[in-house]
Amino acid sequence: MAACVRSRDTAGMDTAAPPFPFEVQPFDTPTEAARAALEAVLIESIERRKEFGGMICQWGTRYFAMPPREGDTNTVDVGHRGGNKGCPEGTSAVAYYHTHPAVKGAGFKMEPDKFSPEDRGVADDFGIDAYVGSVSGLFLRYDHRTKKIAVAGPRLKNCRDEMILREPPKAAPRSRTRARFNAT
């Protein structure tokens, strides 16, 4: 099992966010657009302990993610209250994406692997679906029509490659026969 080491001392590390898939990068489904957006911001979100999010827009038969907006520890304005629900004119808002980067903040324990009532409320009130990428890498989708939450795909990358530590392979126990043979 791999574990991420997170340290406040990041001297010498590249802390720049990965490139973001701007609206010029269309996808075949809103889930693909949400995944690309979340993959691009989740690590920075976790490291900075701030939520990031934005809108998923449809243009014809293709989908794209709007650039991420920065929030605070437990909330982000994804732009849904703007004109055309935060999407450019000539497109339609179909979903929003956001991160859950922390397990505690603002003085209380959070549940990053779940949609909050507020998350679901935005989707329901604006008639759009929602996607979340959590600190654990879990990638979830909330369908506003059915009111169901489901895993949207494989886990998201949630730490930088340089920061992954792998457990060393466990040595096979030595048999007593081999131990006796080596001792003689």
Q: What is the pLDDT of residues 33-61, one digit of tens each?
A: 999 999 999 999 999 999 999 999 999 99
Return the pLDDT at 159: 86
Interatomic CA distance for residues 147 and 154, integer angstroms: 21
* 19-183 under CATH 3.40.140, yes or no: yes
**In whole angstroms, what is the distance from residue 22 CA to residue 171 CA?**
47
- Count CA atoms within 13 Å of residue 10 on its CB side: 14
Q: How far apart are CA 89 and CA 108, in angstroms?
A: 39
For residue 8, what pLDDT band results from cuts at 50, 70 and 90?
very low
Q: Is 95 left (phi over 0), alpha (psi -120 to 50) or beta?
A: beta
pLDDT score of 184 more than 90: no
148 contacts 129 by C-beta, under 8 angstroms:
no
Instruction: List CB contacts of 12: < 8 A, sequence separation 6 or more.
Output: none
